Amino acid sequence: MKLLVTGGAGFIGSAVIRHSIANTRDSVVNLDKLTYAGNLESLSDVSDSDRYSFEHVDICDRAEVERVFREHEPDAVMHLAAETHVDRSIDGPAAFIETNIAGTYNLLEVASSYWQSRDNARKSAFRFHHISTDEVFGDLGSSGGLFAEDTPYAPSSPYSASKASADHLVRAWQRTYGLPTVISNCSNNYGPFQYPEKLIPLMIQNALEGGALPVYGRGQQIRDWLYVEDHARGLYTVLTQGQVGDSYNIGGQSEKLNIEVVQTVCDLLEELAPDKPAGVQKYSELITFVDDRPGHDLRYAIDASKIQSELGWAPEESFDSGIRKTVQWYLENQPWVAGVAQGAHRKRVGKLQGELK
Catalytic sites, residue numbers: 134-135, 159
Three-state secondary structure readout of 25-43? CCEEEEEECCCCCCCHHHH
What letter would DSSP give residue 152?
P
Burial 168-189 (b: 16+ CB within 10 A, else e): ebbeebbeeeebbbbbbbbbbb
Task: Give the three-state DSSP class for 235.
Answer: helix
What's the residue count for the chain? 357
What does the alpha-carbon distance between residue 124 and residue 115 come to, in Å, rounded to a whole number? 9
Residue 17 neighbours by CB distance under 10 Å: 29
According to DSSP, residue 102 is labeled I
Integer Cα distance of 180 and 133 in angstroms: 20
Longest dimension (CA), the chain: 68
Residue 345 and residue 54: Cα distance in Å, rounded? Answer: 15
Q: Which helix (H) or strand (E) holds 307?
A: helix 305-311
End-to-end CA distance of the chain: 30
